[in-house]
Structure 1
């Protein structure tokens, strides 16, 4: 496999992971996997929450594809796909756990309109503390905050007088 093809596969995997993450978040984590994800919608006590197990679960395919593509003689493209999954996980950790939830203290303040939008979308996602009625399940892409606020009100999860994070 040519390096250019591998890089294209890597980039496509990182972008495709956003679709996978959206679907997993909406229909697994806010569905049958709520028993783990619910911890993420409650105040955290300590460094860890049950939801952190999803990082380990989603790392398994990446590990297997990297191992197979690099050491076990599988199609080399599997290594690029595994690396793309791992890169998405690193991006997710950096943005979600570090920037949005500040699991490690830092002084970074989002200034770009993109970063402000991502942070606001995640805050609006957490405005609902149950598995039903919330908005914004993606991570690298988020609808405008005014659209999300309207969806929250329309769903009945929040009323006009409810406090919606800015």
Structure 2
């Protein structure tokens, strides 16, 4: 049952991430997210990086609270959120934005589709414009783009 809770939480985080990104990061917390779009910052750290802490606090709180209750479902919900957060860090910060140079020359259609969708998101530098607010779910048109190129 605990594995199911972790997996379901991980999957539900995609919808939560989409809503958070569109309505909070591109909403009232735009001042933290803005430098991620316009790259108006010095050094490697962006104000946008504070979201790591903002999202980690509830996940760790759930894990802590759940561990005090004998590792109940709260712990596994927090674990699912944490695993999603690590996945987000790996794909977004390491793979897409190349903060650590890995998978630079991948030919995997799914990874290329994620990269293209994110690039489409970043072509809009304003708060209100935008598309592709999700993370792991990629609109089908970006898959088609790379599968078509693979067959040609």
Counterpart of 1:69? Answer: 66
More helix by share: 2
Counterpart of 2:123? Answer: 127
Residues 92-125 of structure 1: CA deviation (Å, up to 9, x unaligned) = 0000000000112335323211111100000000
Instruction: State yes or no: 1:87 paired with 2:61.
Output: no
Aligned-CA RMSD value? 1.7
Q: 1:58 aligns with which of 55, 66, 72?
A: 55
If the length of structure 1 is used for normalisation, what is the TM-score? 0.80
Tell me, in whole angstroms, the C-alpha distance in 2 between the residues paired with 1:27 and 1:86.
21
Shift of 1:75: 6.5
- Whichever of the two has the greater Rg, that structure is 1
Residues 121-157 of structure 1: CA deviation (Å, up to 9, x unaligned) = 000000011111210000001112499xxxxxxxxxx
Does the 8 A contact of 2:35 with 2:48 survive in 1?
Answer: yes
Shift of 1:74: 6.4
Shift of 1:42: 1.6
Counterpart of 1:152? Answer: none
Counterpart of 1:157? Answer: none
Does the 8 A contact of 1:22 with 1:137 survive in 2?
Answer: yes
Q: Flag structure 1 segments of 5+ consecutive residues without an equivalent.
A: 148-166
User: Where do 4+ consecutive residues of structure 1 move more than 4 Å?
Assistant: none
Does the 8 A contact of 1:31 with 1:131 survive in 2?
Answer: yes
Which of 1 and 2 has higher RCO (CA within 8 Å, sep 6+)? Answer: 2
Tell me, in whole angstroms, the C-alpha distance in 2 between the residues paired with 1:104 and 1:26.
26
